[in-house]
Amino acid sequence: MFDTRTSMHADAPTQYTVEFEREDDGRWIADVTALPGVMAYGATKEEALLKCKALALRVIADRLEQHESTVTTLDQLFVAA
């Protein structure tokens, strides 16, 4: 059984903060600064958040596959700023 509460790295965050910014054209940007390259645009704040979460999960999954995991919990990864 896989315990999602354990971590391979003691200094890994238990949640990732998603920061938002609105562009001049009205689009929203969601960014997880703790995961370089994880940034997504959306027509709404909610759409940007969903796309950003999906991308972050892909990055985390890739790190897990490469044995570079920084995941401490899979239950509460994101918190909106």
pLDDT digits (tens, 9 = 90+) for 10-57: 445 567 899 999 999 999 999 999 899 999 999 999 999 999 999 998
CA distance 67 to 80: 27
pTM of the prediction?
A: 0.70
20 - beta bridge partners? 30
Per-residue pLDDT band for 5 (boundaries 50, 70, 90) equals very low
Q: Which domains can be identified in the chain, with CATH numbers?
A: 16-80 (3.30.160)
Rounded (5°) CA angle 12-74-20: 75
Which positions ≥6 away from 48 have C-beta within 8 Å? 20, 27, 28, 29, 30, 40, 41, 42
